[in-house]
A and B are shown apart, each in its own frame.
Chain A
Amino acid sequence: MATNYGPVEIAGVIAVIGVLTYACRLSFIALFGRLDEIPPAVERVLRFVPAAVLAALVLPSFVTLDASSFAADKFVAGALAAGVAWQTEDVFATMVTGMGVLWAIRFLL
């Protein structure tokens, strides 16, 4: 799985993604300086952003509906890591549990 694109095309893609990504980051930080106050409706919506987006990033890594790519080791490791995250709210403990369980299933069982 190696790319056939040349260095110029690669550099171009990196530049375009970089500019658009920076535009996303800067957008409201630049804009809100010009507004007097943020509409309360916007604030109410923003409160739900981290929970919804992070969950959408996480869950498909642990569970998939596609039977051919379902990985039981990732499902079990993810579920146990979620339990540890819930109990401890500790990043290190969550990582150690998740990777530890994954490796235990893969290499020991």
Chain B
Amino acid sequence: MDTAAFRRGVRDVAPLLLGIIPFGLVAGIATVNAGLGLPAAVGLSVVVFAGASQLAALELLGQNAPLTVVVATAVVINLRLLMYSASIAPYFRDFTSRWKAVLAYVLTDQAYALSVASYRSDRETDRKWYYLGVAVTLWAVWQVTTIAGALLGTGVPDAWGLEFAIPLVFLAILVPAIEDAATGIAAVVGGVVAVVGAGLPLNLGLLVASGVGITAGVLTESVTGGTDGD
């Protein structure tokens, strides 16, 4: 184990925890609000470990939506993990299958964003242990905060709008991802299409918007001749 790399990962993810903690509390509170008990809250957080999809699944379960709709919505939201998996795969190719299986389990928006940013800068950091420092910290904090949220239950007033912390975290990660005109276009188009498509069934708006945004970025780059973002 490369403890220096692990510690660097923990240090880099620390500021993001200020966004993860309210996010986890909200996910735990939502579990109780949906009428699910503590075992379900723990199960959801450990087995699925993907906040936005957990919240969507809980909302739909609370409304007694058909179970196929609950599953489809959660999985559609998590399809972006396919893209993160593809994007980070080249950096993991030399690891054993067993390590890949472990690293994949803790792949999240934040672990992906921080690690790829670190790999792209030419820092001499052990990839596996840096990633684990980030991802395992996120995992542990997520489990603790969702359980705490489930125990606090409905004690937190709705008016606090704690769930608003979630998009704020995504926003803070989004801004550094806009590195040039083409990625800017991808973000603007993806965001606008998501707003327009918010009414689409099964949360398809997110998937359609992502696809259209990525396409817009690729087209922009091919028109402008392409500037190397990094």
Contacts and interface: CB of A to CB of B under 8 A. Distances in A.
Interface of A: 1-5, 7, 9-18, 20-22, 24-33, 38, 42, 44-66, 74, 77-78, 81-82, 85-86, 89-92, 94-95, 98-99, 102-103, 106-107
B218 A3 contact: no
Contact of A28 (B15, B40, B86): B86
Contacts, number: 283
B63, B78, B216: residue with the most chain A Cβ atoms closer than 10 Å: B78
A17, A56, A107: residue with the most chain B Cβ atoms closer than 10 Å: A56
B224 interface: no
Interface string B181-208: 0111011111111111011000001100
27 contacts: A2-B35, A3-B64, A5-B67, A10-B36, A11-B43, A14-B44, A15-B47, A17-B48, A17-B75, A32-B86, A32-B90, A32-B92, A48-B182, A49-B80, A49-B210, A51-B217, A52-B209, A52-B212, A55-B190, A55-B209, A56-B206, A59-B195, A61-B166, A65-B198, A81-B171, A91-B173, A107-B159
Contacts of B34: 1-3
A16 B188 CA distance: 33
B228 to A, nearest CB: 10
Binding site of A, secondary structure by majority: helix, strand, loop or mixed?
A: helix
Contacts of A13: 57, 61, 67, 70-71
A35 B104 CA distance: 18
Nearest to B16: A91
Binding site of B, secondary structure by majority: helix, strand, loop or mixed?
A: helix
A2 B195 CA distance: 28
Interface in B11-54: 15-16, 18-19, 22, 33-37, 39-40, 43-44, 47-50, 52-53
Contacts of B103: 29
Given A25-B85, A26-B104, A55 B36 contact: no
Contacts of B70: 13, 17
Given A1-B34, A17-B48, A60 B187 contact: no
